[in-house]
Structure 1
Amino acid sequence: MNVIAAIKAYVVKMTSDSEPGMKVLLMDKETTSVVSMVYGQSEIQQKEVFLLERIDSPNYANSSGLRYLKCLVFLRPTQQNIELLCTELRNPKYGAYYIYFSNIVAKADIKILAENDEQEVVKEVQELYMDYLAVNPHLFSMGIPMCLSSTASEITWNHSALQRTIQGLISVLLSLKKSPIIRYQSNSKLARDLGNRIDETMNKESSLFAFGPSGQSLLLILDRRDDPITPLLNQWTYQAMVHELLTINNNRVNLSGIPGISKDLPEVVLSAEQDAFYAKNIFMNYGEIGQNIKQLMDQFQAKAKSHQKIESIADMKNFVDSYPQFKKLSGNVTKHVTVVGELSSMVNKHHLLDVSEVEQEISSQNDHSAHLASIKKLLHNDKIRHTDAAKLVMLYALRYQNQSNNELSSLIDLLYKRGVSDKLIKYIIYLLEYAGSHARQSNLFNVENAVKITKRFFKGLSGVDNVYTQHKPLLHDTLEDLIKGRLKDNLYPVVGNHSSGLRSQDVIVFIIGGATYEESLAVHTFNKNYPNFNILLGATNIHNSTSFLEEVENAFRGVDMLIRRHTRHIRNVKFDTK
């Protein structure tokens, strides 16, 4: 199961099924993201696609088009896109249209398109199931940053997010040709609702899911609220670290806000499909990246030196032949040195090594007095960012929520004295309601049964010689139980009249409320260590701590009643629930 390979195969089919000749690729905002995650623009152009257009762009509506060209249309089957496509077909800009929808399209919509195709320019209509973002071969996202809302009594699905998630998951299953048994986290109504809706859709579209015997597969639906710790932690592997400190958005990193950044590098692309260095280092830790950056620099310098002496026609020919690769290597070196340099600067400037060490201790050990002392020490350090100070208090609040002598109130007092914003302090209370002990199924802090830390050194980068603990997300324990046949039926029941007795080798895990790159690393490691199993991770979104807290806040927007149960923890603190 490889989602990048699945998307690529569909793109190849889409660009090669039509007659030979130059083509235009007409997409919408979301399908543009789907394609750009796995193909660069130059790669698409090599498939006879010389122009990319957006059907939802005002500029496109006013363009004239070229009637001698063929148009490949790749759209999500939304009502808006059907209407835009009808407008296009009534006044076609191109000579022939090959229409591909990213998901199941209603027969009524096909009929409407046919009625508007008065000039009979449509040559083909197909469904190609690529209605999701393929991030890594084993990781996909729906790209939904806010999927939850609240009523007066509970957290619920945002209706449009639920619909989009159902469509996206159905697309994943169809693209991988899987008709799985569905299990879900039993204490999560969100997971149960999604599981039931996926099952209903599979039954309704049973002809599409008739793949024949191909081994039993499993879709396991989890709720982010069962592990609120993982998204709050600082990260130390390349992909996860970049996302936490700089933010990755559809493989792109915006560097324009960095002081002194080159005007040639306002944005960089980090794609393992198009960048060999990134592919090799995506799961490497901070120190290893430093060593490998040095090797990349040495490689570049050696190539540059070999081109310094151009004394003959043969030398000139050799240089010209290797120039594209040389230029690509030069750009790669500049990109990664810039990104790693900024990461290093932020780590040192904000004392993130010190912060991370305390984060890891809180997440993996039970020592109230020591943790309290460590947090207070860092809260008095003005080099620590307000965000990191608040996150330390969040971790403390989650771990010691039910401890009678917890000092959450005094820690919030210290945050106020530091000048931490009301918004960050409200996040603490929202988080307790979102994923406090009342909302969790698993014993997240059961230290006796889960040895979640191993000490290790980061080596090879100047200034990084501290000892760290390596946090393992709750997903690690869940997958271990699943692989060893220990996943309890009462905690993860099956949707419909199926048995959970068969151990599935193809497993798709989907996390409502977002996954993290640390969990992606856990899945990558499991796939490597258990070659008989094939595990795929998906989520509504890929979070860093900022986006996670924004989603938590959004879930309670306009609902004050739910958070009042926690105000007893913050007596004498100026907390406004409005």
Structure 2
Amino acid sequence: MDNTSRNSPSHSHSRSLVELLRKNIIGAISSTVKGNRWRVVVVDRPSLKVVSMALEMQSILEQNVMAVQLITRNRQAYPEMDAIYILVPCADSVMRMIDDFKPDPGHPENHQTKYAHAHLFFTGKLPELLFSQLASSAAAPYIKGVTELFVEYNPFESRVFLTTPSKQPFYSLYSPHAADKIERDLDAASDRLLSVIAALEIHPFVRFYRPVNPTSSNNGSDSGNDSSQDSACPRIAEDMARRLQLKLNEHYAHEYSDTDNKDPRQQHNSDSVVIVLDRSIDMFAPLVHELTYQAMVHDIIDLGDGAKYIHEKKAANGQVERVEAELSEKTDWLWEKLRHEHIGSVAQKLSDRVERLMSESTGIKAAQSDGKKLTLTEMKATLAELPEFKRLQSLYSLHSDLATQCLEISSKRNLPALVNFEQEIVTQTSADGKHVGQMSLETRLIALLDDEGLDKSDRIRLLFLYLVYANGGSAEDRRRLEEVPQCLTINDKHAAINLRQLGIPTNKKQSELNKPSAKKTYSWDTFTHADPDKHEPWFAPAVKRIIFEQLNGDLDDTLFPWTRETLPENIPKHILNVTATSLRRNKGTWERKHQHSKSEDSGKGTMIIYIAGGMTFSEMRTVYEMT
């Protein structure tokens, strides 16, 4: 994945983040309703994207909204109506809002404003400077309220959110040529992570991954020059965690100004924790093929816009039409049911669902009770009249097509055999439980790389997987690989060398090759197993072990320190006594409020796993399974 790899963090909570986002935005709009008066909603482009993630336009218009207007365009004035502004907390949007309530420069005698009053809702925390500008502006008498919604995150799935601040988040975090972007991206990402925490109404403790020998900044080069410092592993997770802690401290200072500056986590009971990781925590997860449905579709099918799939569907008149489908739990319940199934089981699951419909059909049951045996054609005709079957038919066609494509590509690329070898590299264990030696792995690797039929992406993936397994390589290793026909392009060589940015030494001396890594591994020495009948992988992502050890209070304090030097006394580290209270702050009358919708499950055992640089579908699946 990209930063979806999708930059992408994941969390475990009993409330869907999509539902929370929808509830907060609809709640903000409906909270301004008085009688049947009509209003106007004004958005900027970034906030429009946030709103669109959770709501259809029709859902907004149903809230007595006359129109949704973009603040950057020339807009029709509605001087008799109130305006609901949903904006990102930036200077440009704030100044445009203020301008809506200034007299017309061309007609100074006309004191009519664009709207009657303003209800301001900001997607994230409004800086004090901008708040002061609002309070002293010409618009101040017209402002009915200012509320911070904390909705600056992308709910990718019910338990997965994205905080991607740029188009190339992985590059800006790890490239030595993007030093000017890393500060900006980490700051923006920590703001969005704060939004998630505020939306969930939790008060978590924060801990982070700190490599044994990290560096404070990226070193190395994207060029092929390997004379630079080797194995530079930046403190990305630590930087991110400390920024988040500062923002949380500021947030709590405002929220609990009447509690004598006591940390609310010392006064209440909860077990909420945020664990900030970065991609270097587990370099196997992005490289090992995942044979579950969702992962395979994203890995080997060309999807438009990240989740759009064009498939052929037979219409009622017999003609074939091309239909665009969105693979999302919001629009496709069958995708949600099947996405974590092994690809080999998907077709059977689809068939089982149709057979169950047939067995439950009233018409078929009636025929069977009369002793009549229906033909398959008659059964299909009976089913075709069922509303549920009609709904299923389109989805069945879509997922049958997708699953078939995945299996065909898998067979063509011989992925099952490739996956077996990948698992042996990672676990150093064969499917029958025997130890696999390094010499055997190297011999088979060279043979595979020499296979002209091997897909280019699989060739590079295998190479990188082996470099991670061996904790890097030497110049001699690279020379041997370069002798393999069609193995490495210039860009491939640069990419292999730049693994140093993720803590993998790529210029080891021969005398260092057999030395164990100083960096403790959290990926392949625990939770490895082989169960072909259940299609379970031998390798489990490091995230699984981290969550498991956190829940048991065994997570290493050296590798995963806390952002606070001392925790409250007499509190076990895996039971972090805290409860959420209302995220509300008032100043005077309209000045500022936090959107609060107290949920009955707030503060109950929430753990957020955040991976700077992106997470994989196997890690997402692991979080769902452990939840």
TM-score normalised by structure 2 residue count: 0.68
Residue 183 of structure 2 is matched in structure 1 by 159
CA distance in structure 2 between the aligned counterparts of 1:68 and 1:226, rounded to whole angstroms:
57
Residue in structure 2 matching 1:375, options 440, 445, 452 = 445
Residue 461 of structure 1 is matched in structure 2 by none
Residue in structure 2 matching 1:27, options 36, 40, 43 = 43
1:4 aligns with 2:25: no
Q: CA offsets per residue over residues 446-469 of structure 1, 9 Å max, x none? A: 86x4252323247xxxxxxxx774
Code of the residue aligned with 2:547 in structure 1: it is L
Shift of 1:64: 3.6
Mark the CA change 1:503 to 1:28 in structure 2 (over 3 Å): closer, same or farther. Answer: same
Shift of 1:272: 1.7
Residue in structure 2 matching 1:286, options 306, 321, 343 = 343
Secondary structure, counterpart of 1:280 in structure 2 = helix
1:226 aligns with 2:294: no
Mark the CA change 1:492 to 1:401 in structure 2 (over 3 Å): closer, same or farther. Answer: closer
CA distance in structure 1 between the aligned counterparts of 2:447 and 2:125, rounded to whole angstroms:
56
Residue 476 of structure 1 is matched in structure 2 by 544
Shift of 1:355: 2.7
Mark the CA change 1:496 to 1:112 in structure 2 (over 3 Å): closer, same or farther. Answer: same
Code of the residue aligned with 1:82 in structure 2: it is V
Mark the CA change 1:55 to 1:334 in structure 2 (over 3 Å): closer, same or farther. Answer: farther
1:517 aligns with 2:533: no
Code of the residue aligned with 1:474 in structure 2: it is A
Greater share of helix: 1
Shift of 1:402: 5.2
Residue 503 of structure 1 is matched in structure 2 by 574
Residue in structure 2 matching 1:146, options 162, 166, 169 = 169
Residue 292 of structure 2 is matched in structure 1 by 237
Mark the CA change 1:213 to 1:292 in structure 2 (over 3 Å): closer, same or farther. Answer: same
Q: CA offsets per residue over residues 424-449 of structure 1, 9 Å max, x none? A: 342222124423159987533886x4
CA distance in structure 1 between the aligned counterparts of 2:352 and 2:71, rounded to whole angstroms:
45
Q: Is the 8 A contact 1:74 1:99 kept in 2?
A: yes
Q: Is the 8 A contact 1:6 1:175 kept in 2?
A: yes
Flag the structure with more relative contact order, 1 or 2, with Cα contacts below 8 A and sequence separation at least 6. Answer: 2
- Aligned residue pairs, count: 496
Q: Is the 8 A contact 2:236 2:278 kept in 1?
A: yes
Mark the CA change 1:300 to 1:475 in structure 2 (over 3 Å): closer, same or farther. Answer: same
Shift of 1:386: 0.8
1:443 aligns with 2:489: no
CA distance in structure 2 between the aligned counterparts of 1:42 and 1:329, rounded to whole angstroms:
25
Q: CA offsets per residue over residues 295-352 of structure 1, 9 Å max, x none? A: 466689999999xxxxxxxxxxxx9x997x7775454334433433443343233333
Mark the CA change 1:378 to 1:50 in structure 2 (over 3 Å): closer, same or farther. Answer: farther
Code of the residue aligned with 1:10 in structure 2: it is N
Mark the CA change 1:136 to 1:161 in structure 2 (over 3 Å): closer, same or farther. Answer: same
Q: Is the 8 A contact 1:399 1:445 kept in 2?
A: no
Residue 570 of structure 1 is matched in structure 2 by none
Q: In terms of Rg, which structure is larger?
A: 2
Q: Is the 8 A contact 1:70 1:97 kept in 2?
A: yes
Q: Is the 8 A contact 1:23 1:50 kept in 2?
A: yes
1:388 aligns with 2:445: no
Shift of 1:78: 2.1
Mark the CA change 1:263 to 1:88 in structure 2 (over 3 Å): closer, same or farther. Answer: farther
Residue 368 of structure 2 is matched in structure 1 by none
Q: Is the 8 A contact 2:523 2:542 kept in 1?
A: no
Residue 556 of structure 1 is matched in structure 2 by none
Q: CA offsets per residue over residues 405-437 of structure 1, 9 Å max, x none? A: 9844323432xx327543234222212442315
CA distance in structure 2 between the aligned counterparts of 1:293 and 1:240, rounded to whole angstroms:
18
1:109 aligns with 2:130: yes
Q: CA offsets per residue over residues 170-216 of structure 1, 9 Å max, x none? A: 11221122222221222352222222222222222324554662414
Q: CA offsets per residue over residues 64-122 of structure 1, 9 Å max, x none? A: 46667654332221233324434455587666543211111124323434666659664
Residue 195 of structure 1 is matched in structure 2 by 241
Residue in structure 2 matching 1:76, options 58, 64, 88 = 88
Q: Is the 8 A contact 1:133 1:142 kept in 2?
A: yes
Code of the residue aligned with 2:92 in structure 1: it is Q
1:254 aligns with 2:254: no
Alignment of 1:52-71 (within 5 A): 52-55=68-71, 61-64=73-76, 71=83
CA distance in structure 2 between the aligned counterparts of 1:424 and 1:24, rounded to whole angstroms:
53
Residue 150 of structure 2 is matched in structure 1 by 129
Mark the CA change 1:125 to 1:286 in structure 2 (over 3 Å): closer, same or farther. Answer: same
Secondary structure, counterpart of 1:98 in structure 2 = strand
CA distance in structure 2 between the aligned counterparts of 1:493 and 1:23, rounded to whole angstroms:
50
Residue 85 of structure 1 is matched in structure 2 by 97
Residue in structure 1 matching 2:323, options 252, 265, 268 = 265
Q: Is the 8 A contact 2:303 2:309 kept in 1?
A: no
Secondary structure, counterpart of 1:487 in structure 2 = coil
Residue 510 of structure 2 is matched in structure 1 by none
Shift of 1:41: 4.8
Mark the CA change 1:221 to 1:53 in structure 2 (over 3 Å): closer, same or farther. Answer: same
Secondary structure, counterpart of 2:283 in structure 1 = coil
Shift of 1:31: 3.2
CA distance in structure 2 between the aligned counterparts of 1:395 and 1:329, rounded to whole angstroms:
40
Q: Is the 8 A contact 2:472 2:506 kept in 1?
A: no
Residue in structure 1 matching 2:532, options 456, 461, 486 = 456
Q: Which runs of 5+ in 1 are unaligned?
A: 307-318, 459-466, 528-578
1:488 aligns with 2:556: yes
Code of the residue aligned with 1:507 in structure 2: it is M
Q: Which runs of 5+ in 2 are unaligned?
A: 1-12, 105-112, 215-234, 257-263, 315-319, 364-382, 429-435, 508-516, 576-604
Q: Is the 8 A contact 2:467 2:473 kept in 1?
A: no
Secondary structure, counterpart of 1:230 in structure 2 = coil
Query: RMSD across aligned C-alpha pairs, in angstroms?
Result: 4.1
Code of the residue aligned with 1:456 in structure 2: it is P
CA distance in structure 2 between the aligned counterparts of 1:121 and 1:340, rounded to whole angstroms:
57
Residue in structure 1 matching 2:411, options 328, 348, 357 = 348
Q: Is the 8 A contact 2:423 2:539 kept in 1?
A: yes
